Amino acid sequence: MKILEIKSLVFPEIKVIKFTRFSDNRGYFTETYRYSDFENQPIRLCSGLILSGVRRRRMYQFIKGIKFVQINESYSKKGVIRGLHFQWNPYMGKLVRVISGHIIDLFLDIRKNSPTFGKIGGYELKSALNDELNHWIWIPVGFAHGIVCLEESTIEYLCTGEYSPGCEAGISPLTDDIDWSLCDKKIKNQFDELVKKGAAVSEKDRRELTVEEWRKDKRSENFIYGKL
């Protein structure tokens, strides 16, 4: 796996990992994940500098000791919105990439006492057969996760916990009390436009909690800022 870049988004806990594909006239090959590369390989910053040694170890700290125990694949049609979901007992961090298609990946801070509680961010992820690069996005414990499908898309999730029935909840992506102030305006406009046109959202996701209901919910004590 050849990692080119790791960068943080509006929340420092959310990371985007850019890696290469090796292409020729036959097609391409890529390693999508290799544990030792996250431990040992220097990475290239946006500035073009190579990061190694102590600084590299700090950059990789977010994934140090992480063990992935479940892999999920999700296919969605254009115009689908899924989420915003989160799990506990066990907790589930997610490493997400687009196998094919084009999505907006959404991440909402659900950690009680967090200075950014209730705020949401988004990042566009896309993948086509002729792309030279692909991306992972890391969604750690403490963030609800969702996707907005701008095209027919297939998504892969590497998960740090196995799914446990009864230990999942969600915030409705349509609730009015999500704070979009940190989110890129282009992404918010794309979301609003899709909702206006009649996005496909499951009844379960529509009926999920508001941010304020989550704040008052006893289950939110599983997600305390600074203790995760």
Annotated catalytic residue within 28, 33, 102, 157: 157
Instruction: Clarify whether 75 is annotated catalytic.
Output: no
Instruction: Clarify whether 135 is annotated catalytic.
Output: no
Strand partners, 74: 155
Annotated catalytic residue within 33, 85, 102, 225: 85
Strand pairing report for 43-44 and 50-51? antiparallel
- Using DSSP's 3-state secondary structure scheme, residue 53 falls into helix
* Cis-peptide into 49, omega within 30 deg: no
DSSP tag of 61: G
Query: What is d(CA 108, CA 99) in angstroms, rounded to the nearest whole number?
Result: 23
Amino acid at 163: Y
Is 65 in contact with 133 (CB distance < 8 Å)?
A: no
Is 89 in contact with 167 (CB distance < 8 Å)?
A: yes
Query: What is d(CA 158, CA 204) in angstroms, rounded to the nearest whole number?
Result: 23
* Helices and strands (H, E) in the chain, number of each type: 5, 14
The residues annotated with a catalytic role in the active site are 85, 157
